[in-house]
Every structure is written in C-alpha cells, then in structure tokens.
Structure 1
Amino acid sequence: MNINIKRGGDDFFFNRLFSFLSRELDVEIKGMTHLRGNVYLVETVSKKIIIKGFKDLRKLKIQETFASSLRKSGFDQSYRFYNQNKDPLHFHGSYYGCIEFIDPHEQRFDYSVQKDREEGVELLKRFHDHTSVLVSSYAGMLPKTDLARKWRHRKNEFTKYLPAVNRYVNKSLTNELLEWADFSLTNFVKLKNDLETESPAILHGDVAHHNFLRSKAGKLHIIDFDLISTGSRAYDMLQYANRILPFLDWQFESLAKIEHLNQWLHVDAFLYGLLYPADILREWNRLLRESMQSNPYSLAPIVEMTVSQYQQRKRFQEEVKSRLDA
C-alpha cells in the first residue's frame, strides 16, 4: 500500500482520511496524494479518482447535480461525479464527492499561448450555450452574480491592507490603483444593466487558467464549479478578458481580435469593467490574508506584477478611456 503524503498536509488527518476511504469505497485503494486544500487524488486498483471535500452537503449535492445536468445537456467537456445515489462520504466535518479523473496532457493549458486563449474562450462560450437552458432548473439554488459587490469588497479589503502593501510598493502607485478601481466601479455600477439584456446563463465564476484542463487525448475541459452563479455571460467573459490581458501586453487591439470577446467591446459597461485592477487587488489580498508576505517566493511575483506592468496598464487605461470618451 503506497501512501504518498505531500508536504504541507496534516499527516495524521491524511492517514485517517485514507483509512476512512479504504473502508467506505467499493474498490481497493493503492495510494493517495494530497493535491490542494480539501482535494485528493486517489489511485485504486482499476482507476484514479478525485476526492473533494465540501463543508456543506447542499453544496456537494448542487455540484453533483450540475455536473450531471451539463452532461445530459450534451456538454461533454467536463467531469462527472461518481456514487451520486449513495449516502455521502462524511468525514471530519466535510462531505466528500468522488469525481472523474481526467488524465492530463503533457502540455498544460496556458494563457500565454494564443491557441489556448482562443480555445479557452470558445469553450467558455459553449459552456454558456448549454447552461443558458439550465437556468430555470436551478432557480433558487444558485446565487445571482453581483460583480459590483465582489469588486467593492475586494477594494475595501485592499484598502484595509494598504499600510502593509506600501511597505513594498510606492504609495503613489497604490493610490493610482485605487483611483482606477473607484473610477471603474462607479461607472460600472451605473451601466451594468446594459450587460444584462440577454437571457442569463449559469456562469463559471472562476476562469483562472488552472480551471481549464486538457486531457491526454487533447480535448479541453472546464472544471471546478465551486463559484457557479446565474447572470449575464458577459461577466464570465469580462473575467476572462481580465485574466488574459497581461499575456496580451495590455494591448486593446489584441483583445479586439479574440472572437466572443470582441462583441462586448462596444458596450461601455464592459469597458469600464476592464479598467478594474482585479488581479492586483486579488493577489495582494490573498497574500496578506494568509500572512504570506514574509515568504519571498510568494511576495516577489506580486510586487513584480504590480510594478513592472504599471506603465502598460496605465497606457491601457488611457486607451480604454479614450474609447469611452469618443
């Protein structure tokens, strides 16, 4: 029996969970690896599966049901849950779901690769096409997307951490970041209804690169539905645009060449949303919330992102504002 314990995990908890799963699962476990958080890779005698823990049974059930609904709708570029008709695996305050393991390709999905960026947005568009017909089935089960509220909270948290941020980044720069955030948020709130004229879809809510997974066979999948909500697909597309802009050197013209994103670039609310410094505020908040600033390997990339991209971001701000004023 090969128990593979990864650094950073709680060995006692890991071993107890391994023993629990060995008793409860119908197959023999050969080994287990802690991936991140409450997610584990379990290798059985016949296949690999992902075990993921949820603090709330309702959240697990929504995840299971949504994955099943996606598959029934004809969307086959994600994972399935196993054991949906059995009693949930309950251990140490968490409910564990068993998820299909997708054997990954040797080349990971990467936003720095043009082909991946284009394939990712195409997959996101297909995801929305399928989830738009599922919205009514999940009425009352999923929250409605409130991007303005999320951004306001992010800005307020960053403001709280500002004295700590200014130990590493010049105060004039962080003041300008907050000016961008205020300008973006104020105008976005006024105009966001312009993004909600189409029928809503179920949104992914976290289109980070690690939530796109290419299988060994080369097929791209979208995974991790922890943050699904209902709303305009423009909100996922806006987040996608914000995620890839650093890899486009903050060039508006490059963004305009990407199909499924360019259709939103004539909507002022979308343009105001592009001005919000979502990534910088998110990463500083995470670093300081988790008290990781003393770790140079955690701190250095965020300082680098904040300082080295400043001039490019500033030019992008000016470019977008000129379009808004036209």
Structure 2
Amino acid sequence: MVCRGRVTKMKRAMNINIKRGGDDYFLNRLFSYLTSELEVEIKEITQLRGNVYLVETVERHFILKGYKDLRKLKIQEAFVSSLRKTGFDHSYRFYNQNKDPLHFHGSYYGCIEYIDHNEMRFDYGVQADREKGVELLNRFHDHTSVLVPSYAGMLPKTDLARKWRHRKTEFAKNLSGVNFYVKKAIIEEVLEWADFSLGNFVRLKSELETGLPVILHGDVAHHNFLRSKEGKLHLIDFDLISSGSRGYDMLQYANRILPYLDWQFESLEKISYLNKWLDSDAFLYGLLYPADILREWNRLLRNRNQTHPYSLAPIVEMTVGQFQQRKQFQEEVKSRLND
C-alpha cells in the first residue's frame, strides 16, 4: 500500500460508507482527504477510539492513527522498524515510514498494519494468557536492550515514582468526588497504602536499576496484547515507551494481573519471569501501590463519567468489592518484607 500520492482513478461519493463512532462531518472530510492522498480505493472508515481509525480498502484493512506531534509519529515509525530489524516479529509495521506523513486537521497520521483478531481474545483472566503475555514481554525486553543506545536522545528515562506522586496528588484533589461513592474509611486506607508504598519504593528503587537498561513498553494493559487470527501473540501500541529497567514493566504487569489472581501472592510466585523479581524489596513495595484504583478514579472524574453506571460500577467494585482481598495482600507482603 502506498501512503501518499495521487489516486489513479476517480472515487465516487456514493462509495462512502462510514460507520457510527465519530462525528460524521469530520469522518466525511477525513474520507475525502484520504481518497485524494492514498493510491488505494477506500470502502469504509470506522473510528475505533480517539484519533485511531480502521480503514477498509478494496485490497486490505489498515489502522490510521493520528499524532499531534510529528516527532512522536517519527519516533514510533523508527522504533517499530528498529524492533523488527532485531528479529522481534510479534508486532505490526508502519507502511511507508520514509514518505511524508499524512497531515489532516492538526494531526499527523501514520498507516499501520492491521492484524486480524483471533476469536479467542487475550485475557488476563486465563492462566495460559498471563504466562504467554509475560513471556512475550520478556522477549520484547531482550530485543530492545540492543536499541537503548540508538534511542538515548529520543526517549525519556522511566520515572515511576514521579508518575505515582502525580497520580496520588490528582487523586487527593478528587477526594470529595470519590467519597461521594466510597466510604471515607476505605479511601483513607487506600491512601495509607499509597504513602507507605511510595515512600519505601523511592528509598529502594535503585535495586531495580542494576541490570542492563531496556526500552520499556510502559502500558501492559491486556488490550495491548493481541492474538492474531493464526494464534500468534503480538505486542502493540508503543506510545509510552521509555528506557529503564525491565523490572518496571514487570511490576506494572504484576499489578495488572493481581486482581485476576484474587490477590494471592503465591500465585505470583508460580509465574516465570515475574517470580525472580519477588526477591527485591523495591518490587514488593511497588506491588503495594494501589495504582489501578488511583488511575481509574482520576480518569473517571477527569472525563466526568461518574454519572454513567457502566463507567462507575467497575471502579466501585475495584475499590470496595476487592478491598478485603487487597488488605490481606498488603498484610502478607508486609510480613514478607519484615522477615
């Protein structure tokens, strides 16, 4: 697919087929712009989220993703290309990254290879998927370790402590909104967990930084693991890449899967590539930080979605429904730290 150039034949307006999911006027103009710039015949555009679209052409599908900053687009294109050259083929490609980017309505757009989904979606609730996910993440780190020098001036160094401080500060400003839905005593204890974890993590985080640095993924949410139609697992979306110890990605991975392990520490010990980090006090203190609770409440209130039951209910369940399990987990980890 060519991602810039004049079309070789006229496209008729009657061919436009736009699904719901975005502003029709914007999508119609985007359709017209792409039709004038791409040497493919577009059949359909579907907004997936934000500035990300699925584009169906006569020959294939591709993902169209917009970036406000041209530099960010160029870094993404370069990184994905570099990653593939290391031999890591568990991700997508950008099309024609050496051409001038598409520029529309203040955003720069990249054309990304579409990976058709398997009916069996990746699921942190499935033990085999949790194990395959962390194995793929570890392989990703193995490959990105050789890229660190090349991207030293392009990527930030990870600073998890700073990120957590910012998240806690925002949460503190949102307390009145949170306390409207959750008992004050529960929120006070959650904040105690955050203070205890963060203070000790800052003191010991150098423990995690002794090995060779890698390029970190930075967002190991389940939706960034994609199983192709053929059954091959892929890692996608590198918007938050940074450099640092692989322990930071592993810590985030552990925090992501703990709710699916019913907050059982011994279940973490059984997972390869994670269990070796459990010998680090810094890693254990990091496990105590209620990252998901603070993140999701901040997001909910920032977007003013607290009046929407479908948005509110999962976060209340995360905070209240899992509270006793989390509290027991806190006590178990603290006992291990005191041994």
Q: Please state which band the TM-score falls in when normalised by the shorter chain.
A: over 0.9
Task: Determine the structure 2 residue equivalent to 1:281.
Answer: 294
- Is residue 2:20 matched to residue 1:6? yes
The gaps in structure 1 that reach 5 residues or longer are none
Task: Determine the structure 2 residue equivalent to 1:297.
Answer: 310
Task: Determine the structure 2 residue equivalent to 1:223.
Answer: 236
Return the match for 1:53 from 62, 66, 87. Answer: 66
TM-score scaled by length of structure 1? 0.99
- Is residue 2:250 matched to residue 1:237? yes
Shift of 1:304: 1.2
- Is residue 2:124 matched to residue 1:91? no
Return the match for 1:265 from 275, 278, 283. Answer: 278
CA RMSD of aligned residues (A): 0.6
Task: Determine the structure 2 residue equivalent to 1:41.
Answer: 54
Shift of 1:223: 0.1
Return the match for 1:133 from 146, 151, 154. Answer: 146
Determine the C-alpha separation between the residues in 2 that align with 1:26 and 1:201. Answer: 38
Shift of 1:11: 1.3
Task: Determine the structure 2 residue equivalent to 1:82.
Answer: 95
Residue aligned with 1:16, SS:
helix
Task: Determine the structure 2 residue equivalent to 1:73.
Answer: 86
8 Å CA contact 2:66–2:109 kept in 1: the answer is yes
- Is residue 2:331 matched to residue 1:308? no
Q: Deviations over 1:40-69 (max 9, x none)?
A: 000111110000000000000000000000
Task: Determine the structure 1 residue equivalent to 2:8.
Answer: none
Determine the C-alpha separation between the residues in 2 that align with 1:33 and 1:113. Answer: 30
Task: Determine the structure 2 residue equivalent to 1:206.
Answer: 219
8 Å CA contact 2:90–2:235 kept in 1: the answer is yes
Determine the C-alpha separation between the residues in 2 that align with 1:225 and 1:174. Answer: 33
The gaps in structure 2 that reach 5 residues or longer are 1-14
Residue aligned with 1:120, SS:
helix
Q: Deviations over 1:168-215 (max 9, x none)?
A: 000000000000000000000000001000010000000000000000
Residue aligned with 2:279, SS:
coil
8 Å CA contact 1:5–1:14 kept in 2: the answer is no
Determine the C-alpha separation between the residues in 1 that align with 2:212 and 2:152. Answer: 14
Return the match for 1:17 from 30, 34, 40. Answer: 30
Count of aligned pairs between the two proteins: 325
- Is residue 2:269 matched to residue 1:256? yes
Q: Deviations over 1:69-102 (max 9, x none)?
A: 0100000000000021211100000000000000
TM-score scaled by length of structure 2? 0.95
Return the match for 1:32 from 45, 55, 61. Answer: 45
Task: Determine the structure 2 residue equivalent to 1:112.
Answer: 125
Shift of 1:296: 1.1
Shift of 1:37: 0.6
Determine the C-alpha separation between the residues in 2 that align with 1:25 and 1:166. Answer: 51
8 Å CA contact 2:179–2:187 kept in 1: the answer is yes
Determine the C-alpha separation between the residues in 1 that align with 2:171 and 2:141. Answer: 31
Q: Deviations over 1:226-259 (max 9, x none)?
A: 0000000000000000000000000000001000
8 Å CA contact 2:261–2:267 kept in 1: the answer is yes
Q: Deviations over 1:10-43 (max 9, x none)?
A: 1111111111111111111111111001000001
What is the percent sequence identity of the aligned residues?
77
**1:317/1:306 Cα in 2 relative to 1: closer, same or farther (>3 Å)?**
same
Determine the C-alpha separation between the residues in 2 that align with 1:127 and 1:294. Answer: 40
Q: Deviations over 1:106-135 (max 9, x none)?
A: 111000000000000000000000000000
- Is residue 2:339 matched to residue 1:323? no
Determine the C-alpha separation between the residues in 1 that align with 2:96 and 2:55. Answer: 15
Residue aligned with 2:172, SS:
helix
8 Å CA contact 1:3–1:33 kept in 2: the answer is no
Task: Determine the structure 2 residue equivalent to 1:185.
Answer: 198
Shift of 1:2: 4.5
Determine the C-alpha separation between the residues in 2 that align with 1:216 and 1:56. Answer: 33
Residue aligned with 1:81, SS:
coil
8 Å CA contact 2:19–2:44 kept in 1: the answer is no
Task: Determine the structure 2 residue equivalent to 1:143.
Answer: 156
- Is residue 2:166 matched to residue 1:153? yes
Residue aligned with 2:258, SS:
helix
Task: Specify the code of the residue in structure 2 equivalent to 1:29.
Answer: I
Task: Specify the code of the residue in structure 2 equivalent to 1:13.
Answer: F
